[in-house]
Amino acid sequence: MNRPRQPRAWQRMLSGRRLDLLDPTPMDIEIEDIAHGLAFVARWNGQTKGDFAYCVAEHSLLVEAIFSRMEGDAAPRWQMAALLHDAPEYVIGDMISPVKAAVGPEYGALDERLTAAIHLRFGLPATIPQTIKRKIKKADRLSAWMEAVEIAGFTKSEADRFFGKPDHALIDGFSILLRPPVETRAAYTARHAALLERMS
């Protein structure tokens, strides 16, 4: 009697790594794969103004910059955590919040497993402290507010309602960049390298 074949749960990366999505290990994670994947994952399901999609890599760079401004003297490892806050999306994609809610807890569990492996790969604890996580989430929401108003067609009052009224001191001078994926990929990789050097 033939047993049913298990569905494939791994993905081959351009680096040659084979990442098991159900049981990811730090050794199968490379920053080049993350940067490449995130540079091609569109935020807002691609429903944004401009000639280029606003990608998760660009969003992550902005979140890290906002977080670093908020913290002032943030430890490089927490800046790294901010840069990598959406890193699992290089393989599972970016789902808007309503879709995540519809998919249910399985998406969250998959995200957590990938996050832990990514963190360990780059010298972070598998789970970061809740105080840091909350601050990164605040930076994330500030970035989402900017994106909503500048490129996703929201009014400021709508963005205030969905993402909270922003502290403009934390976002003044920042802007939403729309550029080719190759440029964003290079910027993400360069920022990662700079933070990794400061962590060592």
pLDDT in tens, 183-193: 999 999 999 99
Q: Crossing angle for the helix pair 56-71 and 181-199, nearest 10 degrees?
A: 40
Could you tell me the two tokens for 73?
A: 């003297």
Q: Give pLDDT tens digits for 86-143.
A: 999 999 888 767 676 766 667 788 899 999 999 999 999 999 999 999 999 999 999 9
3-state secondary structure of 191: helix
3-state secondary structure of 20: strand
| Residue 72 dihedral angles phi and psi, to the nearest 5° | 75, -75
Q: What is the mean pLDDT of residues 55-60?
A: 98
Which of 69-78, 106-115, 155-164 is the least confident region? 106-115
Separation between Cα atoms, residue 170 and residue 67, nearest integer Å = 9
Residue type, 105: P
Given the structure tokens 């159900």, which residue do they identify?
22
* pLDDT score, position 106: 77
Given the structure tokens 């990929």, which residue do they identify?
185
% of the chain with per-residue pLDDT over 90? 82
Average per-residue pLDDT in the chain?
Answer: 93
Q: How far is CA 195 from CA 32, 64, 84, 152, in A?
A: 15, 11, 11, 30
Q: What is the mean pLDDT of residues 150-178?
A: 97
* pLDDT score, position 108: 82
- Give the pLDDT band (50/70/90) at residue 1: low
Q: In sequence order, which ranges of 52-180 are alpha helices (DSSP H)?
A: 56-71, 76-83, 89-92, 97-103, 105-121, 130-150, 156-163
* pLDDT score, position 88: 95
Residue type, 170: L
Residue type, 70: M
Higher pLDDT, 200 or 182: 182
Residue range 29-199 in CATH 1.10.3210.10: yes
| Residue 68 dihedral angles phi and psi, to the nearest 5° | -65, -35
Q: Is 132 within 8 Å of 124 (Cβ atoms)? A: no
- Give the pLDDT band (50/70/90) at residue 9: confident
Which of 14-23, 25-34, 187-196 is the least confident region? 14-23
